[in-house]
Amino acid sequence: MATVLQPWQILVAAFAGWISRHQHAVIEYLREENRVLKQQLGRRRLRLTDDQRRRLAIRGKAIGRRALSEVASLVTPDTVLRWHRQLVAQKWTHKRRSPGRRRVMQVIEDLTIRMALENARWGYTRIQGALYNVGHRVGRTTIADILKRNGIDPAPERATRTTWSQFLGSHWDVLAAADFFTVEVWGLRGLVTFYVFFVIELATRRIEIAGITPNPNEAWVMQIGRNLTDPLDGFLADKKLLIIDRDAKYSAAFRTLLAEAGVEPVRLPPRSPNLNAHAERFVRSIKDECLSRMIFFGERSLRKATREYAAHYHRERNHQGIDNRLIEPGDCPGSTISAIECAQRLGRMLRFYHRTARRSPAPNASRLSIRTLRVQWDNYFRMVWDAETSAVEYHIYRDDLANLSYASFGVCRDDLDADRTDLQLDDLDEPAPGAAFFYLVSAEDSLAEEGTLGYATGAERSNFGACP
């Protein structure tokens, strides 16, 4: 009697067949991936650590030699089985009870690895000599074991590869990077894509907005290249290397122009923005802090925004890459007791906080007043002045008349409210016999950037003669 399959049995069998086909497809993909990786290695020898050999040996023993001959691509099946035999032998190999040779100190091992990584052309003997210079006696075999244990190639192979960090470090002062970014601008016919081309100096983080255009054709790019490489004031005049990507806008003629000016273009591999990280970081900064927060109507608005941000970027924005300092610090800040002001750009979008710089008086008093706040003497010990409608407060400075040529107003004697327009002096303000002194009255104005200044000298109290 024939066995009748139930529907659920047919369903299970179909599902098992689908699982088998799916697993076979996964295995085929992994095998092809291994072939691709092996092709990337070329003739270079694949160096595996002991842990990696152990893992392959365990998996290889489980599937057998025949299956290994079909799937193994990195090493031969005999190699995998040999690793497994060594693993079994290690299980029955007991360590000697004697302490044996002591392992090299960790500090020496770390120093050996550091020297090998920082000096790609140093062999075992050179590293041995460098260690001896700092007080460590280490054998060549020990150095070789340390490097092998940490997967570091010997000097001949290690010296043929240069990392990006090593390349940037050796060319830091003469290295610049360039890139494009796009901004959408509203025009008469709708949105127009504008291309902004900029160059950044990696050592100082200075940037140059080289050009803005909706049509970056070869003629435009060539003219930008001539401007950048101008021997008098070009941004790349003292640079030797320029990092660029493989954008088609960097034509062969543009690269030739750079090379003829002494600037070698360094083209990045395709799709590798991380290798131009400084330029990419500037793009993120200008977009996050400025461009993405604005809607532009016409090219003029875009040019103004980029110009204002460039000024803010150089003079008012701190940069972590240069120890959180300004690229172009301004004049010396005011004293720690001076007022804190906020400079603003683009409608308060960009802000910079600084202390008010102390103004230096001119050699004579007549040149000190911006808008004269005239002081009158009501009597010998009381001076008065006209009220300023926009004044917030008044500051009274007193010093010897000879200090008018110094870079300060002297000591602030009093801070008075805006409703005060007089000051009563006391005996302590009396100058020494034969001396002269001056008073400066500063009316802090909430509307004026500089404030207003006025002056009065002690000579005015005695008909322009010296005080008795």
Domain total for the chain? 5
- How confident is the model over 330-343, as a mean pLDDT? 66
Confidence of residue 302 (pLDDT cuts 50, 70, 90): very high
Domain assignment present for 294: no
- How confident is the model over 450-461, as a mean pLDDT? 41
Residues 142 and 198 both lie in one domain: no
- Alpha carbon distance 210, 222 (integer Å): 12
Q: Does the pLDDT of residue 244 top 60, yes or no? A: yes
Would you state the pLDDT for residue 408? 42
Would you state the pLDDT for residue 227? 94
Enclosing domain of residue 431 = 365-462
Domain assignment present for 427: yes
- How confident is the model over 197-206, as a mean pLDDT? 94
Domain assignment present for 304: no
144, two tokens: 């070789």
Q: What are phi and psi of 327, to 5 degrees?
A: -70, -45
Would you state the pLDDT for residue 337? 55
Residues 259 and 199 both lie in one domain: yes
Would you state the pLDDT for residue 34? 74
Min mean pLDDT across 169-178, 293-302, 422-431 is at: 422-431
Residues 150 and 251 both lie in one domain: no
CA-nearest of 25, 69, 74 to 48 is 74
Domain assignment present for 301: no
Q: Do 184 and 193 form a contact (C-beta atoms < 8 A)? A: yes
Min mean pLDDT across 168-177, 318-327, 374-383, 446-455 is at: 446-455
Q: Does the pLDDT of residue 291 top 70, yes or no? A: yes
Domain at 429, CATH number: 2.60.40.10
Cross-strand partners of 355? 340
pTM confidence score: 0.49
Confidence of residue 178 (pLDDT cuts 50, 70, 90): very high
Domain assignment present for 167: no
User: Three-state DSSP class for 73?
Assistant: coil
Q: Does the pLDDT of residue 23 top 60, yes or no? A: yes
Residues 135 and 114 both lie in one domain: yes
- Alpha carbon distance 434, 242 (integer Å): 69
- How confident is the model over 352-366, as a mean pLDDT? 57
Q: What is the pLDDT of residues 209-237, one digit of tens each?
A: 999 999 999 999 999 999 999 998 899 99
Mean per-residue pLDDT over the chain, rounded: 75
Residues 346 and 382 both lie in one domain: no
Residues 188 and 261 both lie in one domain: yes
Q: Do 75 and 68 form a contact (C-beta atoms < 8 A)? A: no
- How confident is the model over 32-47, as a mean pLDDT? 72
Would you state the pLDDT for residue 191? 95
CA-nearest of 240, 235, 239 to 225 is 235
- How confident is the model over 44-71, as a mean pLDDT? 71
Domain at 208, CATH number: 3.30.420.10
Integer Rg of the chain from CA: 38
Q: Does the pLDDT of residue 70 top 50, yes or no? A: yes
Min mean pLDDT across 64-78, 154-168, 364-378, 453-467 is at: 453-467
Q: Does the pLDDT of residue 40 top 70, yes or no? A: yes
Confidence of residue 448 (pLDDT cuts 50, 70, 90): very low
Domain assignment present for 85: no
* CB neighbours of residue 128 within 10 Å: 19
End-to-end Cα separation, the chain, in angstroms:
142
Would you state the pLDDT for residue 108? 87
- How confident is the model over 244-263, as a mean pLDDT? 95
Domain assignment present for 315: no
Residue 148: which residues within 8 A CB-CB, separation 6 or more? none
Half-sphere exposure of 129 (CA within 13 A, CB side): 4
Residues in the chain, overall count: 468
- How confident is the model over 32-57, as a mean pLDDT? 73
Residues 339 and 371 both lie in one domain: no
Greater confidence, 52 or 336?
Answer: 52
Kind plus residue range of the DSSP H or E element containing 207: strand 207-213
345, two tokens: 């750009």
Q: Does the pLDDT of residue 186 top 80, yes or no? A: yes
Q: Do 409 and 338 form a contact (C-beta atoms < 8 A)? A: no
- How confident is the model over 389-404, as a mean pLDDT? 59
Residue 104: which residues within 8 A CB-CB, separation 6 or more? 138, 142, 146
Most confident of 158-162, 248-252, 317-321, 443-447: 248-252
Q: Does the pLDDT of residue 265 top 60, yes or no? A: yes
Domain assignment present for 302: no
Confidence of residue 354 (pLDDT cuts 50, 70, 90): confident
